[in-house]
Structure formats: C-alpha cells, structure tokens
Amino acid sequence: MALFTASQNHFLAHEPGLNRFRVVRAQQHMLLLDHPKTKTANRATRLAESLSHVLNLHLHPTSHKPLDLLSVHEEKHSTPTMSPRENISEKWREIQGFSDWEEILDPLDPWLRREIVKYGEFAQATYDAFDYDSFSEYCGSCRYNRSKLFERLGLDKNGYTVTRYIYAMSHVELPHWLERSHVADTWSKDSNWMGFVGVSDDEETRRVGRRDIVVAWRGTVAPCEWYEDFQRKLDPIGHGDAKVEHGFQSIYRSKSEATRYNKSSASEQVMKEVTRLVKFYKEEKGEEVSITITGHSLGGALALLNAYEAATTFLDLPISVISFGAPRVGNIAFKEELHQMGVKLLRVVVKQDWVPKMPGLLFNERLKMFDELTGLEWVYTHVGAELELDVHSSPYLKGGLNLVGFHSLETYLHLIDGYLSSETLFRSEARRDVALVNKSCDMLVDELRIPHSWYQLANKGLVCNAHGRWVKPERDPDDIPSHACQVYNDHLGIVM
C-alpha cells in the first residue's frame, strides 16, 4: 500500500521544515486512516487534522531552524526511561523460550521486550565498567568492586546481585583489543575482565517466577579489528562431531599456572560459581532455578559455549541464551547437540551489522545440504531463533555506512525498545533514553545535538591534585582487583 498519494507527497516534498521523524508520524496516521473501520469517516477532515499535527513545527527563536525531533526528544526528559516491570511469574517459561519464542517475536510481546532489554543492559554493563585506558595500571580490569557495579551503572533497580567476576586469557595470538597496558607495572599482564555471574534477589525472583542465575559476557572493544583473527579453524567440543571456532574456544578455556587471575579458565570460574548457586538455591532451598546467559559480539559467542557446558552439567535446568550481534560459533553438529540438550537461544541481530555474518561468510548454514552430502564438518551455522532489527526503522538514527554504529550494543537496545513488528514503524512509546546510542559511536541524527562517543571519564580520568597538578587518581581500595581476596573467598566458598 502506498502510504502517501501523489498530492500528499508533493505537499511533503515542498515543506522545508518536515524532517524524518515527522514523516514517520505522518505514515502512522496514514496507516490509521486506511484502516477499514476508519474509511467510512470523513477522511478529508481526518487527513487535515493529522497533517496539522504532524507539521506543527517548533522553531528556534533565533535561527528559525526546525527542531521537531529535538523537541520530541526533550519532551521525554521528564519521563521515566524504563517501561513498567510486569509480573511475569505465570508466563516466564514462554518468555525464556520454552516454545522457541513462537508467536511472541513478530509482533514482539511487550513482556519479552522488557526482559530482552534487561539482559542486554547486563551485557552493556560489561563495557561500561571496563577499564580501556592503556595508560592505566588497571587496564583490562573492571573499574568497580562487585558490590558497587550495578549501583554505579544505574542497574541496581533490576533486582540482581553480582556474585562473581570472570577473567579470561587466550593462548592464540592476541588481537589489538586484548593488548596489554602501556604501563609496565600493571595489575595483570595476562588476563582481562570478561564479565560476571549474578542472581536475582527475592523480590525479582517473585516477579519472574523463579530464581534466575544470570551470566553476562563482555564483547570486544573494537570489533572491526579482530574478526579475521577468529576464522582459523574449528576444534572439537564434547565427544561427538560438534566443533566450534578455535579462537572462541581458546578464550573460554585457556589457563596458566603462571598467571594471577587465570590459574583457572573462564570456563572453570563460571561453572564453579553457577554450580554453587544451583546447589544453594535448588538443592538446599528447594527453589525453581533457571540459567540465563547473555553477551554481545564475542560475548555472545562465549555465552553459547557457556550454555553448551552448562547443559551438559545441569541436565534438568532451563538454560536460555539471549545474544546480541553474535557471530557464528560452531558447525551443524554443534547446533544439533544444543537443540537436543534443550538449550534455548534467541539471537538479536541488526540487519546492517556484518558481525553476525561471520565467520563463515561463504560457508554457512545455507550450505547444509552440501555439508551433508560431502561429509564436511567445517560449515559454520547459527543456532536458535532470530529477532532481526533494521537501523532504518528508527527516525533517530543516521543513514549511511557506519560499521561501528551498526554493531554497537546501545544501537541494538534502542532498536529493540522501539520494535513492534516487522510490519510496523518504530513505536512512539519507546522509553529508553535515545542519547545512550551515542555512548561510543556516532549514530544519532545531528538534529538531536547529542555528541558522539560521549561516554568517558571526566577529563579522561585525570584529576587535579592539591598542588594543582593533573594526575592519574588512585582507585578506591575496594575497586582494586584483588587476587588474594578472590583466592581466599574461593577457598571459603564465600559469595564475592
């Protein structure tokens, strides 16, 4: 159906103040007008009223430039950034994918949308709290203590407690994003903070209908720099024909007695903590327990490896993965094993993002028949249900080619918040703050006047001391990575 007639298109084309946001609103009104129940009404009158509202321009008092999109954005400044948190205790199995999310992805169930955003924000926390500063002696660590993480990042209202941090290393040649600090005396020369394990508190447990153990994996700092390094070969996993990408496996399982934080692998760290939580809540307290694993980019790949291991360990627990912009991880046999083990995976992808197309740009699940006929085991394949988003659906986002912006997790979360279905436009009730999109990229239209890549420490981490010198500040003692504390608490079995 054509959304505008020729005369309407002519009118819109000659209205200099009409921007993309107004066009979208106009399209929404046109769809309403074309509804069968509306056709019998006075369409001319309704059209005039709709266009009058759409073209109600707000002009800057001095420049007389249209500020419609900016005005709409500013009108939301006094509204909450979160949708109401509904009680999903009666529907949690459907939300977690027991039916593979059939009939609730398109259109997207609003309760599911809220949960996807929640887990996506856990994944985003692994970026926001990561120390990227190569001149910092703590480069590669988390900036905050576990007990402070959610409070410092504004996630304390989600109702989860962080119980353990995860550290990883790799035995493959490290790409740029894992290069060590420029400082010789650093907290660790081998390891990087890669995420955390958390668990829902009592109130959140009642809301979601079970005790939810969450694992969040960090992705890459600069995704465009490393994917070629992780397309080498597929390595066996388990005892069958399942194989996974060599580089992902190395990060998940590498360890060394010579290191401080990776005497045990990321795999061993996360499974030890999840096992402890399952034993306490399920076996000792008799509660219903689920495991939800999330991650973006590389973190999504690690989440899938984590889910595979968890499914082989906990045969009777519901295990779900919600990944964002994740690459392919393994071959068809790996996919089939995950399916047989009952792991539920929801992959959120942006149509314009190239990372989910890797590895296996040419040899992937589309060649399944070829793989079966030839016996080849190196064909990469995606796993699970897919929710595809489109950058062009949002009036707030720029056009053009922006690989970093397309892959940014904040772009994903913005698009999810505005997604209704594949057949409808960006929802006007979207609550999440649009400014977050530009935290580490330049994706928002210029009319919004949001600086690009604005998320950073004040003065890039320097502070002025009592003598007027600009220096690197000392970290709060609680926020300094403490290997001795971790070893001591591991020995006692204390929640960290």
Span 39-77, pLDDT tens digits: 344 434 433 443 343 334 333 333 333 346 677 677 777
Report the distance separating Cα 400 and Cα 246, nearest Å.
34
Report the distance separating Cα 263 and Cα 37, nearest Å.
68
Q: What is the pLDDT of residue 29?
A: 43
What average pLDDT does the segment 108-115 reach?
Answer: 96
pLDDT digits (tens, 9 = 90+) for 385-410: 999 999 999 999 998 999 999 999 99
Report the distance separating Cα 212 and Cα 96, nearest Å.
11
Tokens 């989860």 locate to 160
Comparing CA positions, the residue from 234, 215, 220 lying closest to residue 175 is 220
Q: What is the pLDDT of residue 380?
A: 86
What average pLDDT does the segment 230-234 reach?
Answer: 69
Q: Which CATH number fits domain 91-392: 3.40.50.620, 3.40.50.300, 3.30.465.10, 3.40.50.1820?
A: 3.40.50.1820
Q: What is the pLDDT of residue 220?
A: 79
Give the count of beta carbons closer than 10 Å to the beta carbon of residue 117. 20
- Two structure tokens written together for 491: 């020995």
Residues 178, 126 contacting (CB under 8 angstroms): no
| Rg (the chain; Cα; Å) | 24
Q: What is the pLDDT of residue 20?
A: 45
Weakest-pLDDT range from 313-327, 374-388, 473-487? 473-487
Residues 83, 110 contacting (CB under 8 angstroms): yes
Residues 371, 396 contacting (CB under 8 angstroms): no
Q: What is the pLDDT of residue 45?
A: 46
Give the count of beta carbons closer than 10 Å to the beta carbon of residue 315. 8
Half-sphere exposure of 472 (CA within 13 A, CB side): 9
In three state form, how does the secondary structure of the chain look?
CCCCCHHHHHHHHCCCCCCHHHHHHHHHHHHHHCCCCCCCCCHHHHHHHHHHHHCCCCECCCCCCECHHHHHHHHHHHCCCCCCCCCCCCCHHHHCCCCCCCCCCCCCCHHHHHHHHHHHHHHHHHHHCECCCCCCCCCCCECCCCCCHHHHCCCHHHCEEEEEEEEECCCCCCCHHHCCCCCCCCCCCCCEEEEEEEEECHHHHHHHCCEEEEEEECCCCCHHHCHHHHCCCEEECCCCCCEEEHHHHHHHHCCCCCCCCCCCCHHHHHHHHHHHHHHHHHHHCCCCEEEEEEEECHHHHHHHHHHHHHHHHCCCCCEEEEEECCCCCEEHHHHHHHHHHCCEEEEEEECCCCHHHCCCCCCCHHHHHHHHHHCCCCCEECCCEEEEECHHHCCCECCCCCHHHHHCHHHHHHHHHHCCCCCCCCCCCCCCCHHHHHHCCCCECHHHCCCCCCCCCHHHHCEECCCCCEECCCCCHHHCCCHHHHHHHHHHCCCC
- pLDDT > 70 in the chain, percent: 73
What average pLDDT does the segment 345-360 reach?
Answer: 91
- pLDDT band at 362; cut points 50, 70, 90: low
Report the distance separating Cα 436 and Cα 410, nearest Å.
6
Half-sphere exposure of 72 (CA within 13 A, CB side): 23
Report the distance separating Cα 228 and Cα 8, nearest Å.
49
Q: Write out the catalytic residue numbers.
A: 297, 353, 407
Report the distance separating Cα 496 and Cα 482, nearest Å.
11
Q: Which residues contact 178 (CB under 8 A, 6 or more apart)?
A: 140, 170, 192
Please provide the average confidence, as pLDDT, over all residues in the chain. Answer: 80
Give the count of beta carbons closer than 10 Å to the beta carbon of residue 9. 12
What average pLDDT does the segment 328-348 reach?
Answer: 95
Please give the single-letter amino acid code of residue 284.
E
- Residue 200 bridge partners (DSSP): 160
Report the distance separating Cα 228 and Cα 237, nearest Å.
22
Report the distance separating Cα 7 and Cα 435, nearest Å.
36
Phi, psi of 487 (to 5 degrees): -65, -40
Comparing CA positions, the residue from 66, 60, 68 lying closest to residue 25 is 68
Residues 291, 299 contacting (CB under 8 angstroms): no
pLDDT digits (tens, 9 = 90+) for 248-276: 999 999 999 988 899 999 999 999 999 99
- pLDDT band at 359; cut points 50, 70, 90: confident
Q: List the 319-324 sheet strands across, edge first.
A: 160-168, 192-200, 211-217, 289-296, 319-324, 344-350, 385-389
Residues 472, 186 contacting (CB under 8 angstroms): no
Tokens 């420029």 locate to 182
Domain locations in the chain?
Answer: 6-77, 91-392
- Two structure tokens written together for 486: 């971790």
Q: What is the pTM of this model?
A: 0.81
